[in-house]
Amino acid sequence: MSLNPRLLNFLILGVFDVGLAILLFQIVDSATNNHVYAYLAASIGPLIGGIIQHVRQKSFSGISALILAFNVAAALATLVGGTDERLLLVKGSVVTGIIGLLFLGSLALGKPLAFYFGQRFGTDGTKEGVAYWNGLWKYPTFRASQRYITIVWGVVFLLEAIIRVVAAYSLPFTTAYWLSNALPLVALAICLTATFAIAARARKSAPTPA
């Protein structure tokens, strides 16, 4: 019996992008007692998760390209400007901050990033499912909901980045590292809660063609 495509998407995210990253950090940190090596090893998890998603989708969708760019930027950031362990934490937050700016900047484009996230995770991934999602754009309430969701994600990502920078230089490294891993989960929970609330409110309004 095959898994629901949506469930499989979130399983891959949880197992590789989060679970494997934390596991590799623990293993390498215990074996080498070197936070820098552990941090670099942890980046392998999300990279593998991104590759699996690209193979499954057989194409580079807008959200897939964003995830890949994030992983590549995060990996390169650890190699630029030295390998000070606290600087590595700050570099990770810089990438997160850039993603937040991309969300907010996308509001000036034809469709905001939230629309493409919904296209990826809010459909079953089939041609028909994606076509249905794309067709919803003609409704004003749907367009407004996607813009509100994009604003929430952009602001939350920026705040998360700022908090991680402050934590990197005001807390012990181990504490700052685990906080830097926990904060994205907290930010994600906030964003998802807001997303579901905004989407539910939008569904209560009868769609009116533009």
- Residue 74's pLDDT is 57
The tens place of each residue's pLDDT in the chain, 210 residues long, gives: 555 666 676 677 678 777 887 888 889 888 988 766 777 787 777 777 777 766 765 544 455 455 545 555 655 665 565 556 777 777 767 778 888 998 999 999 888 989 988 877 777 666 777 788 888 888 899 999 999 999 999 999 999 999 988 988 888 888 888 887 788 778 888 998 999 899 888 877 745 544
Q: Which of 107, 130, 163 is nearest to 6 (CA)?
A: 130
Q: Which of 25, 203, 168, 198 is nearest to 89 (CA)?
A: 168
Task: Give me the residue label for tokens 């989407």.
Answer: 199
State how far the alpha carbon of 71 is from the alpha carbons of 76, 85, 99, in Å.
Answer: 9, 19, 11
- Residue 144's pLDDT is 93
- Residue 3's pLDDT is 59
- Residue 60's pLDDT is 44
Taken in order 21, 71, 118, 183, is the CA torsion positive or negative? positive
CA distance from start to end of the chain:
42
CA dist 57 and 120 (Å) reads: 10
| Domain residue ranges of the chain, discontinuous segments joined by + | 5-204
